[in-house]
């Protein structure tokens, strides 16, 4: 029996080993193609501290040709990242349960979530290049994704992993919250409503959890964006970067959350799509 307030572990569905990876990949692919323009607006607000309308004005003046510029890095990164997130969480759970049976369910789940997040952080180069491709200051410097990836080589391997520390912190904490809240909401799902009702519940749960987590983690993403927006030069730490952004934005904590409304909206849609599509694909494989 689980401790009071902690739901019983749901029995693992009978699907082929490794299917969690495929389901996560498919869910992320669908999500990215739909939400990339929203993400680009949010990025401009993070980097330049402008309003949503100013960011929209920038994209409108640049034209449709540049709207999906930079989609390849997040398409590769997010599909693989979400695949790793779901797949490795399941694999780490199995490993921890088998090797450390006395660890207890809460610690197993938290450990699996943190380890899955750390594994995702290996994909930092994709986020790194995405930042450069979306920043208008690099439009004339880098012709495309592959050009940017080649040009970074002159600065060494570490340049591809600039900003990895906030990514590690973000991934670990986000995964612990996501899987913990997701399991509890799944246990509270209404029964007998059919597939459409289940899909609506999965979308709602994913949307609310994703929006909450992305809002809490927003300052970390702002720091990560600023750390990764530079090329070459010294590597600034989290504290130093936070101080620079804080001073640049008039020493206002509220200014650190500029763009959070677009971020919240994007996450509502993104994680609603990811969670419901993941469960739908997983259902077909059972």
What's the 3-state SS for 144-206?
CHHHHHHHHHHHCHHHHHCCHHHHHHHHHHHHHHHHHHHHHHHHCCCCCCHHHHHHHHHHHHH
Question: 40 in a domain, yes or no?
Answer: yes
For residue 15, the model assigns a pLDDT of 61
For residue 86, the model assigns a pLDDT of 95
Q: What tens-digit pLDDT sequence spans the chain (286 residues)?
A: 444 444 445 455 556 667 899 999 999 999 998 888 887 887 777 777 778 888 888 888 888 777 878 788 788 888 999 999 999 999 999 999 989 988 888 999 999 999 999 999 999 998 899 888 888 888 888 888 899 999 999 999 999 999 999 999 999 999 999 999 998 998 888 776 678 888 899 999 999 999 999 999 999 999 999 999 889 888 888 999 999 988 988 888 888 888 888 788 889 999 999 999 999 998 887 7
Question: 7 in a domain, yes or no?
Answer: no
Domain residues for the domain of 98 are 19-285
Question: 11 in a domain, yes or no?
Answer: no
Say if residues 285 and 23 touch (Cβ distance below 8 Å). yes
Give the position of tokens 């030069």: 233
For residue 251, the model assigns a pLDDT of 84
Question: 83 in a domain, yes or no?
Answer: yes
Residue 199 maps to which CATH number? 1.50.40.10
DSSP conformation letters of 20-58: HHHHHHHHHHHHHHHHHHHHHHHHHHHHH---HHHHHHH
Question: 5 in a domain, yes or no?
Answer: no
Say if residues 245 and 21 touch (Cβ distance below 8 Å). no
Question: 267 in a domain, yes or no?
Answer: yes
Question: 62 in a domain, yes or no?
Answer: yes
Judged by DSSP in three states, 141 sits in coil
Alpha carbon distance 54, 61 (integer Å): 11
Total domains in the fold of the chain: 1
Residue 102: CB atoms within 10 Å: 5
For residue 236, the model assigns a pLDDT of 85
Q: Name the phi and psi angles at 9, rounded to 5.
A: -65, 130
Question: 243 in a domain, yes or no?
Answer: yes
Report if pTM > 0.75: yes
Question: Backbone dihedral region of 259: left (phi > 0), alpha (psi from -120 to 50 degrees) or beta?
Answer: left
For residue 7, the model assigns a pLDDT of 46
């Amino acid at each position: 029996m689980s401790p009071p307030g902690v739901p019983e572990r749901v029995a693992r569905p009978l699907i082929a080993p490794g299917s969690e990876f495929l389901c996560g990949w498919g869910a992320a692919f669908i999500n990215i193609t739909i939400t990339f323009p929203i993400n680009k607006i949010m990025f401009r607000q993070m980097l330049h501290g402008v309003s949503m309308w100013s960011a929209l004005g920038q994209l409108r003046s640049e034209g449709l040709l540049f709207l999906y510029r930079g989609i390849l890095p997040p398409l590769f990164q997010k599909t693989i990242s979400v695949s790793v997130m779901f797949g490795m969480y399941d694999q780490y759970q199995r490993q921890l349960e088998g090797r450390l049976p006395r660890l207890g369910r809460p610690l197993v789940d938290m450990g699996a979530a943190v380890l899955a997040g750390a594994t995702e952080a290996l994909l930092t180069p994709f986020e790194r290049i995405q930042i450069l491709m979306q920043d208008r200051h690099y439009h004339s410097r880098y012709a495309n994704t592959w050009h940017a990836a080649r040009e970074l080589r002159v600065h060494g391997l570490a340049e591809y992993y600039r900003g990895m520390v906030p990514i590690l912190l973000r991934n670990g904490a986000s995964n612990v919250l996501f899987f913990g809240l997701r399991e509890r909401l799944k246990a509270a799902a209404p029964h007998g409503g059919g597939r459409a009702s289940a899909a609506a519940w999965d979308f709602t749960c994913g949307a609310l959890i994703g929006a909450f987590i992305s809002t809490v983690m927003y300052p970390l993403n702002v720091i990560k964006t600023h750390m990764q927006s530079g090329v070459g030069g010294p590597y600034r730490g989290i504290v130093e970067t936070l101080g620079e952004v804080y001073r640049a934005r008039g020493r206002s904590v509220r200014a650190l959350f500029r763009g959070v409304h677009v971020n919240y909206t994007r996450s509502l849609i993104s994680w609603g799509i990811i969670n419901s599509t993941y469960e739908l694909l997983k259902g077909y494989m059972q």
